[in-house]
């Protein structure tokens, strides 16, 4: 009898331990920023059937966890608030999320140029030391690859823009948020979910990747990589062993010899295979899906370098990503702004034009509503894929947002190709976004080419006449097409009076 009593007492102590605590999604931590002026979803996990109460200010909502343990409530639209408020989530246990403010939340995603930290940016140490914006807050989503749509993901928790934390923020996201906050006073939340060296198909949902039969090529390419992986891994291990021996030998010859070896023979790159961040939909599943349906003001995107060798695929993929992300977040008109790739000359592109075609694919995606791009053709570094001047890139993104969303009207785009007409041996190019003038910085217009019916482009000279550009070259008497900045790393120097660079363009479709 005593044994039975002891067993029952032990069982009673174990039962609470078997219950799952109510836990909110990882974006709901101290210092969170909630999106103003629209219904706000709060969600998380609990025991199946457990009742959950969410309280924020004067609003209280209740939910019951489903069979999978997931629960969600929606708060009515919230007014801007700079004063921290407690978000209380209660079930069998109670969680209090402190210092929650209401402002605008921007999702920042893409590859390494979005991942690029403030500490690495131009004057990064000084920028981080000067950060004193407690209402600009940043949360970093952990790198996660998932084969299917994940419910949860690890994150750093919300951090304020102070010298202690700002150095690790996404530079583009932080400088953008700082600009908007300084001009408007609105609290800005940065949800940072990026991974360097990743292609667009990794960031697309399965629904997006199956929305067009043409996208099947991405899946087929990946399946071939996986099939080839065992043999490729064996070959890699062998080449890595040989490389390691050669590196050791170079070290014995001193630092100059080692540097010369590393430049001539970089470390062999491991092959891609299962679990790799190039897995189609892998990063959407692991790093975007767990954020749904957090309220957002907009999305900032900086990606495309990894797709440059396949620029023809990029335009429909990118359009599908924009459309489906909006649908997944339940905001079909969500502003989506991106960075048009900066000038850079990859060593593995003998054509010298792969980035030009990728930039064009980005520009053509402007056909979608509520989209815009910041041109970065003049801030890159020919031999470095990561330009340090992220401040200027972010400023141009902020100009777009200020003009289109925050009522601070001003120029947000540089000269954009509108039309071309032939005048004898010349081509006259007309632009939009030149009400402030058309100028060439420091020297006559550069990076111009024209071609005749033979489709052979030759270097050309340009002359600005008011808000048009007259282009010609002696070698083409009857020109039919013109291009500007149509190279990986052109000397692009055409601007409008607001100091915004012209969008690279071509009048042909060859």
Does 305 share its domain with 196?
A: yes
Verify that 179 and 125 share a domain, yes or no: yes
Is residue 228, in this structure, part of any structural domain at all? yes
Please tell me the predicted confidence (pLDDT) of residue 146. Answer: 98
Q: Does any domain span residue 199?
A: yes
* Residue 103, token pair as written in the block: 């402002």
Of 412, 434, 454, the position where a domain reaches its end is 412
Note whether 272 and 339 are same-domain residues.
Answer: no
309 and 449 share one domain: no
Instruction: Say if residues 97 and 34 touch (Cβ distance below 8 Å).
Output: no
The C-alpha atoms of residue 385 and residue 439 are separated, in whole angstroms, by 27
For the beta carbon of residue 384, count every other beta carbon within 10 angstroms.
11
CA angle, corner 395, sides to 392 and 397, nearest 5? 115
Q: For residue 454, give both structure tokens.
A: 């033979």
**Residue 95 is assigned to a structural domain of this protein:** no
Residue 72 domain flag = no
Collapse the DSSP code of 199 into the 3-class scheme (helix H, G, I; strand E, B; otherwise coil) and give the result. coil
pTM of the model: 0.94
Q: What is the pLDDT of residue 130?
A: 98
Contact 433, 414 (CB under 8 A): yes
Tokens of 243: 């490389």
Q: Which of 412, 428, 448 is the last residue of a domain?
A: 412
Q: How far apart are CA 285 and CA 292, in angstroms?
A: 11
- Whether residues 375 and 469 share a domain: the answer is no
pLDDT (0 to 100) of residue 11:
41
The vertex-184 CA angle with 499 and 339, nearest 5°, equals: 45
In 204-248, DSSP assigns E strands to: none
User: Are 197 and 312 within one domain?
Assistant: yes
Residue 101: its H or E element:
strand 94-110
- The pair of structure tokens assigned to 404 is 């289109």
Single out the residue of 420, 426, 424 nearest to residue 473, CA to CA: 426
Domains: count for the chain: 3
Last residue of one domain, picked from the residues 257, 280, 303: 280
**Domain match, 229 and 194 both:** no
Packing angle between helix 390-404 and helix 171-184, nearest 10 degrees?
Answer: 40
The total of other beta-carbon atoms located within 10 Å of residue 279's CB is 23
Alpha-carbon gap, residue 132 to 160, rounded angstroms: 8
**CATH code of the domain in which 156 resides:** 3.40.50.1110
Within a domain: 88: no
> 293 preceded by cis ω (within 30°)?
yes
Torsion angle of alpha carbons 337, 340, 346, 349, nearest 10°? 110
Distance from C-alpha of 110 to C-alpha of 188, rounded to nearest angstrom: 19
Which residue from 132, 191, 199, 193 is spatially nearest to 166, judged by alpha carbons?
132
Residue 26 included in any domain: no
Same domain membership, residue 191 and residue 295: yes
State whether 106 and 149 are in the same domain. Answer: yes
The CA-atom distances, in angstroms, between 77 and each of 64, 115, 181, 328 are 22, 31, 21, 19
Please tell me the predicted confidence (pLDDT) of residue 201: 98
- Are 383 and 286 in the same domain? yes
SS3 33: strand
Indicate if 140 and 286 belong to the same structural domain: yes
Tens of each residue's pLDDT in the chain, 510 residues: 444 444 444 444 444 444 579 999 999 999 999 999 999 999 999 999 999 999 999 999 999 999 999 999 999 999 999 999 999 999 999 999 999 999 999 999 999 999 999 999 999 999 999 999 999 999 999 999 999 999 999 999 999 999 999 999 999 999 999 999 999 999 999 999 999 999 999 999 999 999 999 999 999 999 999 999 999 999 999 999 999 999 999 999 999 999 999 989 999 999 999 999 999 999 999 999 999 999 999 999 999 999 999 999 999 999 999 999 999 999 999 999 999 999 999 989 999 999 999 999 999 999 999 999 999 999 999 999 999 999 999 999 999 999 999 999 999 999 999 999 999 999 999 999 999 999 999 999 999 999 999 999 999 999 999 999 999 999 999 999 999 999 999 999 999 999 999 999 999 999
**Do 285 and 275 belong to one domain?**
no
Does some domain include residue 495? yes
Q: Which domain holds residue 428?
A: 416-506
Q: Is position 196 within any domain?
A: yes
């Amino acid at each position: 009898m005593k044994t039975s009593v002891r067993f029952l007492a032990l069982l009673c102590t174990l039962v609470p331990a078997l219950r799952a605590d109510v836990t909110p999604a990882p974006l709901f931590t101290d210092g969170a920023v909630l999106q103003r002026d629209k219904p706000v979803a709060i969600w998380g996990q609990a025991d199946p059937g457990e009742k959950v109460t969410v309280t924020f200010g004067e609003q209280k909502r209740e939910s019951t966890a489903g069979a999978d343990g997931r629960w969600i409530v929606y708060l009515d639209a919230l007014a801007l608030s700079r004063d921290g408020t407690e978000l209380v989530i209660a079930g069998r246990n109670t969680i209090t999320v402190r210092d929650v403010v209401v402002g605008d939340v921007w999702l920042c995603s893409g590859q390494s140029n979005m991942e690029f930290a403030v500490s690495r940016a131009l004057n990064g140490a000084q920028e981080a030391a000067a950060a004193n914006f407690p209402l600009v807050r940043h949360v970093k989503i952990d790198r996660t690859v998932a084969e299917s749509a994940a419910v949860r993901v690890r994150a750093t928790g919300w951090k304020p823009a102070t010298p202690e934390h700002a150095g690790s923020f996404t530079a583009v996201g932080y400088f953008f948020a700082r600009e908007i906050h300084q001009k408007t006073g609105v609290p800005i939340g940065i949800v940072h979910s990026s991974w360097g060296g990743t292609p667009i198909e990794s960031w697309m949902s399965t629904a997006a990747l199956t929305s067009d039969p043409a996208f099947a090529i991405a899946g087929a390419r990946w399946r071939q990589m996986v099939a080839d992986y065992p043999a490729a891994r064996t070959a890699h291990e062998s080449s890595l062993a040989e490389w390691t021996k050669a590196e050791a030998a170079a070290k014995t010859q001193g630092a100059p010899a080692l540097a010369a070896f590393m430049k001539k023979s970089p470390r062999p790159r491991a092959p891609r295979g299962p679990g790799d961040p190039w897995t189609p939909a892998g990063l959407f599943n692991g790093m975007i899906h767990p954020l749904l349906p957090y309220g957002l003001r907009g999305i900032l995107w900086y990606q495309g370098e990894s797709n440059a060798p396949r620029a023809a695929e990029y335009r429909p993929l990118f359009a599908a990503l924009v459309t489906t992300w909006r649908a997944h977040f339940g905001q079909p008109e969500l502003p989506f702004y991106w960075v048009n790739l900066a000038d850079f000359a990859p060593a593995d592109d003998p054509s010298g034009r792969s980035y030009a075609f990728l930039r064009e694919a980005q520009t053509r995606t402007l056909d979608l509503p509520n989209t815009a791009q910041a041109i970065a053709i003049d801030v890159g570094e020919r031999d470095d894929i990561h330009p340090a001047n992220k401040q200027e890139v972010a400023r141009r993104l902020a100009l777009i947002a200020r003009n289109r969303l925050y009522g601070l009207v001003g120029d947000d785009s540089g000269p954009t190709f509108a039309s071309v007409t032939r005048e004898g041996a010349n081509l006259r190019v007309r632009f939009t976004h030149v009400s402030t003038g058309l100028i060439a910085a420091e020297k006559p217009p550069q990076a111009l080419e024209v071609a005749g019916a033979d489709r052979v482009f030759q270097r050309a000279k340009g002359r600005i006449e008011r808000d048009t550009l007259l282009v010609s070259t002696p070698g083409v008497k009857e020109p039919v097409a013109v291009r500007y900045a149509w190279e990986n790393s052109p000397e692009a120097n055409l601007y409008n009076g607001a100091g915004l660079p012209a969008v690279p363009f071509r009048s042909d479709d060859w």
